[in-house]
Structures are given as C-alpha cells and as structure tokens.
Structure 1
Amino acid sequence: MSHVCFVQHAVSGCADDCLDELVQKFWETEEVAVATPKLSPEEEDALQAVKTSLSYTNERYKVGIPWKLDPEILPDNYEMALKRLKDTEKKLSKNDTILAAYEDVIAKYLEKNYIRKVPEEDISKSKWYLPHFPVVNMDRSTTKVRLVFDASAKCSGISLNDVIHQGPKMQNDLFEILLRFRRYPVGLICDVAEMYLQIEIAECDRPYFRFLWRSNDQVKPPVVYEFSRVVFGINCSPFLAQYITQEHAKLHETDLTMASTTVVKSTYMDDSIDSVQTDIDALQLYNQLMNLWGAAAGMHARKWLSNSKNVLNEIPAEDRLQEISILTDELPSVKTLGLVWCAEADEFNFGCSSKQIAHSDKEILSQRNC
C-alpha cells in the first residue's frame, strides 16, 4: 500500500493518462532479477558425477561421493581420530546430561540403520576415520545435542574434504523465498527431519566415512562404526541434498504440482516456507508436501506452522511445531531463514543480545569520536 501512496503523491500533478505508464515503470524498477551463476569446470565435474551415480531403490535415493582426487591417497588417520576421540570423551565426561544425549544419538543412528558396527574382519579395510564432537543448542525444540563430524581435520597435511568436490551452491535465494512467503495471506512452513541422513551413499564410498566410539569407557578399545548415509559436516553434503530434493520435486511436477513448486522455489536446505490464497489451498499444499517428502523420498516433513488455526487444526499434533496448543495459546514464533516469524501477527522480527547491542553502541561512539 505504501508503494501506491508514493506513486500517487509523486504524480499528483500528472494527467490521468500517464498514471498507468508511471506505475508500470515503478514496478519494473522494483522487479527482482537474479542471474544464474555459471558453473566452474570443477562444479561441472561434481554435478556430472552426482548425475551419473544417482539411483533410486527401496523408496530412497542413493548417490556416490563426487571425488575430486583419488581417495586412495588418504593416509591412515586412526591415531589422529583416536586422539580426537579422547578429547571429545574428556569434554563429555564433564556433563552427564550431554554425554547421555550423545550416546542416545549414536544408539538411534544404529537403530535407524544410518550407521553400522564394522565387523572385525572388515576393520583393516577402513579408509578414513571422521573425528566428531558435540554441538549443544538448548534453544532447539527437538535435538539439543548434535554430533558434528569433522571432515576438515587433517592428517599428514590432507583432509577428507580436500579430496571431495564441494559442488555448486544450489540453495534458493533467501530474498526470493521471503517474497514468495509474503505474497498471499496464508503462510505455511515445515522442515524435513534429518534430511542428509535419509540419503544413502554408495557402498564403495562408505569405508571413508567411519568413526570411533566406546561410550566413554576408556578401558576398552573403540568400536568402529560406518555411515551408510550422507554425513553432516562433509563439504559436499549441502549440494547432494539440494540436488536430490530438487530433482525429486521436478519428477513430481505433474502429479504434485503445488509441492513441487514449493520445493523448487520456496525451500532452503531442509526448510520449506511458502504462502497460498486460502486455507483449502494450504491444506492441499500440506498433503502434497507430505506425499512428496514421504513415501516417494523416504523423508518426513515435521514442525508444521501456519498463521491459520483452521489449517493447523487439520494437521496431526505430532507433526506440528511442539509449542503449538490450538485451544488455549496464541500461535508461537519460530526461527526460520535467520528471522523470527510471529505466526499470530504474521510478522517477521529479528533480535540481538544485549552484548551485541553494547558492541554496536561502542562502534557508533567510536565512529563519532573519529
């Protein structure tokens, strides 16, 4: 509305017949145009490697790692990984709660077949061990402790990431996603649970994604585990996830048109954030996204939130954002794409800590004194 008022004020002395032309020029000036970056030869190599290796079996995608160099040049890094394990154990021993959460994550990885214990006879075939450490975020509503695998850790001057193509950046432009989210009155957001871990990696690549763990029992030797899925912390993981999800969406652009468009244009990593005209449209988009991510890709969309309680009332409680109580509470705020969306007011906010404010004030005073 402010744009319209601005234009009317600017042309207050113009004849009526030029108003349409001025408004058209105004919106043409405001039009967003984002050029598609040209891929480098290295990025083209990574893209071609993934296209060639990608397959779909047992309702799940499998992909080969886009190697930049022959991974056989990697040295034996067992001692480095063992040293890093001891460092992690020392940190975990200081907090029983975080240690228990760490062990629980590994147990669930085993239960879900994301990893396997490597048999004794296969341990000698290990190619690389990933050091790992915890990242704790008590503000999260789901997983408080995340295991991060350090693929940048070097042994004899080389790391796992050094021999893997990072791949081109395929994330959608944040500004364009936010514009799409503000187009229509009914907003709908969700994220995909453990997106990377729903994508298998080729069997021949798995010996390069092993790690050591012994439940903080430093008396016994570490157990060797091996990933069968894309690992958080590998430089190519964002590229692999984005390429596969976008290709998957394009395959369903006819039968799941709304969901396909949302994934291709309004999804950033594992967050889908879009808007539609009506509650009926929102429920259709919800059902299509559940189908698109679900049986067809082996993924699960969760933590749904909308500014429409009618829409949320049709979504199972276990799939909604945990803070939602339809009957008694106002709709919550949720952090998405680096901003805080207040669903009740349908507004974006951002905040900063008192330390950040103090630091900013000091910078301003410093600039004024110069």
Structure 2
Amino acid sequence: MANLAEKRPDGSKGISLNQCIHPGYNKNFKISDALTMMRFDKFVLGFDISKAFHRLAIDDENSSKFLFYWFKDVESRDFTPVVYRSKRVIFGMSVSPYLLQCSLYNMLILETDGDAEEIQELKKRIYQGSYVDNFMIGCADEDEVEMVHREASTIFEQHKFPLQQYVTNYSQFQYEIDCKVGTETPQEVKILGMCWDRYNDVLKAKCVKLNVEADTPRQILSSVMSIFDLNNANLPVLNRCKIFLRQLQSDYVDKWDTTLHGAQLNEWRNIASQFNNGERLEIPRYMGSRKSTFDIIVMSDANSTIALSWLADYENLRTKLQREVYM
C-alpha cells in the first residue's frame, strides 16, 4: 500500500499524486445491493480475489510515473538507495477501484463469446454479487454451490485472478475446502459490513459499544458517531441516542463541553448501559429463491419525535401464506 495522498514532506505547496490522477467513475455496486443479492437462495458461496489490485499491470509509459526509493538488497544488508517503479496497480491509488471494476466488467460481462448460456448467466450473477473484490453468490442447493466454486475458479484463473477465503453455509463443502488449504473457517464471519453466522444462517450487526463514562454533549456525540454501521443494522436501538442528542443540542447550543449532571447524565448512562448489554440484532439471511416473485410493501409512521418506515416482502403469498419482515 502506498500513501499517494501525501504532498511534499517539507510542508511546502504542492499536490499529491492522487490529485494528479482522475479517479474514474464509481462502477461499484452499492454495498446494500450486494448485501441484498446474497440474501436470495438457501445457500451462499463467498470468496474474494487474492491481491486483486496487484493483478492489474501498468504499462511502461505510466509505470514511470510511480517511482519510489528503496534499498538495493536488504537481505544482504546493502542499503544503497535505488529507484524502483511500480509495474502493478497500487493499493491506495485513487483510480485503483475503477480499474479493477473495468477489468471485472470486461471479464464477466463483455467476454462471453463461446460461453454456454449457463456460464453467461453465472458470470452475470458473480458480477451482480460483487463489491470491490468481494463476491457473494446465492445457490439453490448443494450441487449448485459446488458448481459455482468450480466454474468461478476456472473463470478467474483464466485471467490470473486466483480466488481465496471461500465461505459458505454448506458445512460439508466448507470443511472440504478448509482441509485443502489448511484453515478452519469460524462459525461467524465478517462480510459486507455485517457478521454472518453460517450455522444459523443469520446476519448480525457488528458488536459495538457506547461510552458510558461520557459526560459532555461533545463526548456523547463522539461516542454515538464513532459507531461505523454502513448498513444501519443498529439503527433501531440507536434511535434513543439520536433523540437524546437532539435534546442536548437544544439545551446546550454552543456549549458542547459543558459537563452534564443529574437527570440528563443518568439518562445517558442508562441508554449506553442498556445498549451495551442488549442482545445483538440479527435478521434471517434467507429471503427466498431468486426465481420467486416478491411483492414489496412499504409502511411508515411518524409522531412528533421520530419517523419510521419499513419494508415487508411477501413471497408466494397465495401458496405459502407466510409473511416475514426485513429491516
């Protein structure tokens, strides 16, 4: 990784290398879209590309723009300064995600001549289930999990993109993969900003804590905003915090370092303690088959304090007569 955002080290005026490069367009799918795609079908196979950015070559003309100093031979203790140049895309370069997504689009969407119809469809599903270099593919049954593993490996290996870190809720196949690579995949894995319990097939919010000892509006705000929750999985239980913060903002305008006392301090400590000691929110990963028909119903409500909205999906309602509500 290179810090291409750094300007001149002496503090003089200048621009960084990243400022000289057009970052390209954002061709990544939204992480929420990728998370939704992995919730279809009873089984999921996830994987990522090993050293994805370093698999992309830079031509000679452009590689001369990425020069850096290093030692001639560290192992033999020859520390003579030598100028090297990067011939691979660098992690930390602003254009790196764009170049990777262009490569994936070319490999999975454009290069389909001669592919069987099943492989073309699989390539589309892999592309739609991607987020940067991570992939989550829904599978209808155990046989499809093994097929996706086999065909995806072939597709990516043809372009010198080796795959790694396979995860699936097909336990027997996960065990076989782990035995081949000499690892043991834990029951709970981090994926797309969430935690996935493979055994129980549920998605959980990351385990986060609030600062019970915070006693000023600034410290409380810092504690609440420090929770990085990309998918808003903790939003239902964080609403109390936001309502409390709104009251503080009204009571302590321009007095964010005032120490709280009495009822307000006790209220914050109750909120933080209950949040920290509460059970982690979890939702079922499986929403239904990707081939099923879904009717999406949106509901909302509001009062003087808060407005709420939620989605309910009905899968094959006429035959199953079953409803599940998803956050």
Deviation string, structure 1 residues 128-171 (Cα, Å, up to 9, x no partner): xxxxxxxxxxxxxxxxxxxx311122245122222211100011
Establish whether residue 351 from structure 1 lines up as the match of residue 212 from structure 2. no
Rounded to whole Å, the distance in 1 between the matches of 2:65 and 2:40 is 45
| 2:161 equivalent in structure 1 | 299
Query: Residue type of the partner of 2:190?
Result: K
| 1:194 equivalent in structure 2 | 51
Unmatched segments (≥5 aa) in structure 1: 1-147, 325-330
- Name the SS of the counterpart of 2:177 in structure 1: coil
Match runs of 1:250-265 below 5 Å: 250=109, 251-252=111-112, 254-255=115-116, 256-265=119-128
Say what the alpha-carbon RMSD is for the aligned residues: 2.8
Match of 2:107 among 224, 231, 248: 248
Match of 1:285 among 148, 171, 189: 148
Deviation at 1:314, TM superposition (A): 4.5
When residues 356 and 286 of structure 1 are mapped into structure 2, their CA distance, relative to the original with a 3 A threshold, is: farther
Q: Which has the higher helix share?
A: 1
Deviation at 1:201, TM superposition (A): 0.7
Q: CA contact under 8 A between 2:178 and 2:184: conserved in structure 1?
A: no
Rounded to whole Å, the distance in 2 between the matches of 1:258 and 1:191 is 19
Q: CA contact under 8 A between 1:304 and 1:319: conserved in structure 2?
A: no
| 1:236 equivalent in structure 2 | 95
Unmatched segments (≥5 aa) in structure 2: 215-222, 225-239, 252-327
Match runs of 1:1-370 below 5 Å: 148-155=1-8, 156-214=13-71, 215=74, 220-250=79-109, 251-252=111-112, 254-255=115-116, 256-294=119-157, 296-315=158-177, 317-319=179-181, 322-324=183-185, 331-355=186-210, 359-360=223-224, 365-369=244-248, 370=251
Rounded to whole Å, the distance in 1 between the matches of 2:56 and 2:211 is 38
| 1:33 equivalent in structure 2 | none
Identity %: 20
- Name the SS of the counterpart of 1:158 in structure 2: coil
Rounded to whole Å, the distance in 2 between the matches of 1:161 and 1:216 is 32
Q: CA contact under 8 A between 1:339 and 1:349: conserved in structure 2?
A: yes
- Name the SS of the counterpart of 1:149 in structure 2: coil
When residues 240 and 319 of structure 1 are mapped into structure 2, their CA distance, relative to the original with a 3 A threshold, is: farther
Rounded to whole Å, the distance in 2 between the matches of 1:278 and 1:355 is 41
Rounded to whole Å, the distance in 2 between the matches of 1:187 and 1:202 is 37
When residues 277 and 219 of structure 1 are mapped into structure 2, their CA distance, relative to the original with a 3 A threshold, is: closer
> Scaled by the length of structure 1, what TM-score is found?
0.53
- Name the SS of the counterpart of 1:208 in structure 2: coil
Q: CA contact under 8 A between 1:333 and 1:342: conserved in structure 2?
A: yes
Q: Give the number of equivalent residue pairs.
A: 215
Deviation at 1:245, TM superposition (A): 1.1
Deviation at 1:365, TM superposition (A): 4.4
When residues 310 and 235 of structure 1 are mapped into structure 2, their CA distance, relative to the original with a 3 A threshold, is: same
When residues 188 and 356 of structure 1 are mapped into structure 2, their CA distance, relative to the original with a 3 A threshold, is: farther
Deviation at 1:237, TM superposition (A): 0.4
Rounded to whole Å, the distance in 2 between the matches of 1:210 and 1:348 is 44
Deviation string, structure 1 residues 113-134 (Cα, Å, up to 9, x no partner): xxxxxxxxxxxxxxxxxxxxxx
> Scaled by the length of structure 2, what TM-score is found?
0.59
Deviation at 1:199, TM superposition (A): 0.9
- Compare 247-256 and 215-224 and name the one that shifted more: 215-224
- Name the SS of the counterpart of 1:154 in structure 2: coil
